[in-house]
Amino acid sequence: MVLKKGVERTVKIGGGLLVGFVNGFFGGGGGMLCVPLLEKALGEPTKKAHATAILIILPISIASAITYIASGYFSLFGTLATGGGVVAGGIIGALLLKKLPPFAVGITFAVMMIGVGVRLALF
């Protein structure tokens, strides 16, 4: 899909605000919106959209973390206990992204989004 410059800019800014809000409000989940925005609205290839979303989420997560820490919503033990797994999982995921075909990446992402949605709705 090819968007006019003004429309593309509006989608980028509006989408960025929405992704930032969701990530800040829920403490995560901005990537769930960022990937479809990059793929469907801005026409980025699947793998590029996933990789770009990770880089976009980094500063959003840092800003959100600073706000949560300043407000007293922080657990050092929880951070240290899960941090190693998060780093290891991130490395494994990035390596798999390079090897899997775009179709498999898209299906995996869709299944994960559906699973998370069902989990949130029912439990």
For 24-76, what is each residue's pLDDT tens digit?
888 778 888 899 999 999 999 999 999 999 888 888 888 888 988 999 988 88
Task: Please report which confidence band the pLDDT of residue 85 belongs to, taking 50, 70 and 90 as the band edges.
Answer: very high
Q: What is the pLDDT of residue 96?
A: 92
Question: Average of pLDDT values for 12-18?
Answer: 92
Q: With bands split at pLDDT 50, 70 and 90, how would you rate the model's confidence at 1?
A: low
The CA distances from residue 117 to 22, 36, 120, in Å, are 15, 16, 5
